[in-house]
Structure 1
C-alpha cells in the first residue's frame, strides 16, 4: 500500500512560503510501505554515480524514486528504475566544460577554484533548482528528499516545504565537529596539546573562512522567499536529521565526535546493468603487475598527472593502464611508452581485481573503489576535495600523499616504488577495504533513508 503524499497548503493569510500538512497514514502490514523519494545530485559523475546506486537500491526495495540532475545522466539514472527529472530552470552544465556555464572558473585552480565552484555552481544555481523542484512537486509530491551535500536547492526546497530531508555525503565528510580541525584542509586531528589548540583555532576561524559565502547564501535564500540565517555553508547542507556518508571511520581519522545522525556505509557503487565493452588489449593484463593511472573526470589536463606518471613508469616492469576521464578519448596528446594502454573510461568492476597500485588525483569515488579491493594508492591531490582525500588515505596508511596535483615524474616513481616494496601499505589498504565492504553499501543507505518518511 502506498503512503498518501503530503498536502501542500498556504500559510495562514496566504503569506510566506507553503508548508506541508502530513495526512493520517493508512494501516499497512508491510515492514516497509512504499514511499516516494526525490533524489538530487549536482551533475558531476562523482556525485551522480553513488546516488544512482542508492536509487537502484530504493527501487529494488519497492519505492518510487525520482532523480533530479543534469541531462547528461538521463540514461544512467533511468537504468536504475528511477524517473529522471532534468535541470531545466537550473543551468544544465557540462562537467568537462564548466567554464562555458561558469566563466569565472576560467584559469582557476586551488582555493580560487574551490570558492568559485561553491558560489557559482552550488549556491547561485540553488534558486533555479528550487524552481525545478517546486514544479515537479506540484505535479506529484513525494515523501522525502535526499540530496548530495552540495545540492543547496534541495536544502532550500525542504526548508520551504517542511519535506523530510536526508543528506548523502558523496565526498569526504566535510562536517565541522567539536573536535579536530575543519575538514577540507588536509590536516589530521591533533594528538597533543599544541596541535589540539591549532584545531580549536581553526574551528573558531570557520565563520571567517566562510565569509565569502555569506552574501551569496543570503541572496539565494532571499530569492526563494526564505528568511536570513546565520548558518555557515557546512551547517546548511548537512541534514540535522540523517547523514548517510560514503566511506569509513578509518578514512575519517577515526573521529569520535560525529553526531549520532551520521552513518558510514562504505563504498557505494552502481553495478553495471550490461556486460562491459573491453578494449582489445584487455588480455595483456593477465599475469602482469598493473598500475592504473587516472585523473578522474575534472581537471583532466593529462599534463598534470598522466604525463609524469608515464614518464616515471615507462621503462619499468609494469603495465600502465590509463583512463583519460572522458568517453571516447582513447588517445593522449603526446606519445606514450610501449608498456602503457589508454582508454577514456574503464569498467572498474573488471579492472580493479587486476590492479596492484592506483595513481590518482584523489577522486573520492575512485579512491573508495580501489580501497574496497585492497589496492594501495599514490595520490596527487591538488584541487577541491582532493588534498583532503590524499591526507585521509595517508593517515590510514593505505597510500602515499604527493601533496601536489602536478607532481614530478621522479616523485611519482619514488611513491610507486615505496608501495611496491613496503607491504604495510597493502596491509593497511586491506584493512580499510574490509571495513568498507562490511558497511552495507547502497542497500544499507536505502534502509537508512527509509526512516525519513516514517517519522
Structure 2
C-alpha cells in the first residue's frame, strides 16, 4: 500500500481525454479534486468541453481540429459509421474515432510538454495518443497514469478478451479458453487495428509497440481504476500496478429540477428506474418503452429518464412517470431496482446505493458492465436481440430483483466497499507514489 506521508509540494499535471461525454465527465471529477488540493492541471480535450473544464479550475487546452469532433452526433461527425452494428461498428470506431487521431493527439501532448514540463500525464484508455507516448523509453517521457473509466480491459490468462462480455471460467479449462479467445480476437478480429497501431508506433515512437493496442494501458506506470475489487474480475498475472479508488463522481448535488410528479414516489410502491443513458438514447424502443410496457401490470412505479424525447402522458401506462432528466442523488436512495443499458458510471451509482441492477447493454463497454453485474451477484444480465429486449424477459427479471433478497444483499456489499473507497482523493496518493519512484530524468521530459 502506498504511504500517504508524501511531500506537500503542488504537482504540475496534464490530463488527456477524447472529446466524448462519458470519457470527459469522470475525469472532471478527478481534476476538480486535484485543483482544490492546489495542483496545477492542464486538461487537453475537445472544444465542446472548454466551459466544463474551466469550471473545475483547470486550464483547458484544445485538441487539434483533426482530433476534435462533436460527440452529440457521432454519425454526423463520422459519416462512414452510419449503419454499422456489432463487431463491424466496434472495429470502425476503434480505428477511425480513436486510433486515427493518435498522432495528432501526441503532437498536442508534446507541444504542451515543451511549453511547460509536468510531473505526470493522466489519460483515459481510449486516448490513443498515450499509446504512442508509451512507446518511448521511460527516460524520455513523464510518468503516465491510466484512468480506468471503463471495466478493466487488461489482457490476462484469467479473463476472456475485453468487449466480449464473457465472465471468468476458473481453472485450466478457463485459461485454455481465454488463450484461444485472446489469440483469435487479437489476430483475426482486431488484426487490422494492431497493424495500424504498430505502423503509427514505428513512425513516432522510439521502440516498437510491445503489446496489443487494446492492451496498451499495461505499458503505463500505474492504472487508477474507478471501481472496487468486488466489481472486477480477479487477475493473477498483471505486471502494471492497479489501484482501485472507487467511482469518482458520486458526491455532487444535482441541480436538475424535480418533475411535477415527484411526490408520487411517496406512495410506498417499489420504484424501478429505467434509462438508456445520455448517448444510446436515440430510440427508446431499445429499452425504455419495452420496460414501461413490461411492468405496466406490476404493482410498482416505473420512472424513466428520456432526454430530449417527448412522450405524451396519455400514451404511457398508469404506473409510469417520465422526465427528460432526473436528480439521481435524490432518486437513487428511493429505488428498488435499476434497468439500464449498462453505463459504467450509472451502474456504480446504483451499487453505491445498494440498488440491484438489470443490465441489458451489448455494445461498447456495456457488455462488460452487464457481465460484471451478473458475475458479482448484484443483478441480472439480459442480452438484447437485434438491439431490442424482450418485454416478457424484462418483466420476469425485474420480478426476480424485487423478490430475491440476494441481489440487494450483493449490491449493498459492493456499496459498502464503494463507501470505504477514497474516490477522487485516492488519485493523488497514486500519483505521489508513481512520481516518487520514477527516474528523475522522466519528470518533465517532452520530446526526445
> Does residue 315 of the first structure (1) align with residue 291 of the second (2)?
no
Match of 2:212 in 1: 232
Match of 1:416 in 2: 398
1:39 pairs with 15, 22, 44, which one?
15
Change (3 A) 1:35 1:159: farther
Match of 2:330 in 1: 350
Within a 5 Å distance, the mapping from 1:355-374 to structure 2 comes to: 355-374=335-354
Do the aligned residues in 1 keep the contact of 2:158 with 2:170 (CA within 8 Å)?
no
- Mark the runs of 5 or more structure 1 residues left unpaired by the alignment: 1-28
Match of 2:142 in 1: 163
2:52 pairs with 72, 76, 79, which one?
76
- Equivalent residue of 2:147, what SS? strand
Partners in 1 of 2:104 and 2:60 — Cα distance? 17
Partners in 2 of 1:232 and 1:355 — Cα distance? 41
Change (3 A) 1:277 1:123: same
**What's the CA shift string for 1:355-392, capped at 9, x where partnerless?**
11100001111111111111001111121111111111
Change (3 A) 1:346 1:74: farther
How many residues in Structure 1 have an aligned counterpart in Structure 2?
424
2:260 pairs with 254, 267, 280, which one?
280
Partners in 1 of 2:247 and 2:183 — Cα distance? 32
Change (3 A) 1:262 1:225: closer
**1:230 shift after superposition:** 4.5
Match of 1:451 in 2: 433
Match of 1:426 in 2: 408
**1:252 shift after superposition:** 1.8
1:378 pairs with 354, 358, 367, which one?
358
Match of 1:183 in 2: 162
**1:188 shift after superposition:** 1.9
Change (3 A) 1:274 1:343: closer
**1:330 shift after superposition:** 5.1
**1:399 shift after superposition:** 0.8
Q: Which moved more, 1:382-391 or 1:137-146?
A: 137-146
- Mark the runs of 5 or more structure 2 residues left unpaired by the alignment: 439-448
Partners in 1 of 2:93 and 2:299 — Cα distance? 40
Partners in 2 of 1:333 and 1:196 — Cα distance? 52
- Equivalent residue of 1:387, what SS? helix
Change (3 A) 1:222 1:104: farther
Change (3 A) 1:253 1:77: same
1:399 pairs with 379, 389, 395, which one?
379
Match of 2:443 in 1: none
> Does residue 268 of the first structure (1) align with residue 244 of the second (2)?
no
Partners in 2 of 1:108 and 1:216 — Cα distance? 21
**What's the CA shift string for 1:25-47, capped at 9, x where partnerless?**
xxxx9822111111112222222
RMSD of equivalent CA atoms: 2.4
**What's the CA shift string for 1:10-65, capped at 9, x where partnerless?**
xxxxxxxxxxxxxxxxxxx9822111111112222222121111111211221111
- Equivalent residue of 2:65, what SS? coil
2:227 pairs with 225, 237, 247, which one?
247
- Equivalent residue of 2:433, what SS? coil
Q: Which moved more, 1:207-216 or 1:101-110?
A: 207-216
Do the aligned residues in 1 keep the contact of 2:218 with 2:239 (CA within 8 Å)?
no
Partners in 2 of 1:211 and 1:176 — Cα distance? 16
Q: TM-score, normalised by structure 2?
A: 0.87
Do the aligned residues in 1 keep the contact of 2:223 with 2:240 (CA within 8 Å)?
no
Change (3 A) 1:434 1:39: same
1:55 pairs with 31, 36, 46, which one?
31
Within a 5 Å distance, the mapping from 1:94-109 to structure 2 comes to: 94-109=70-85
- Equivalent residue of 2:285, what SS? coil
> Does residue 291 of the first structure (1) align with residue 267 of the second (2)?
no
- Equivalent residue of 1:178, what SS? coil
Partners in 1 of 2:359 and 2:168 — Cα distance? 20
Partners in 2 of 1:358 and 1:384 — Cα distance? 20
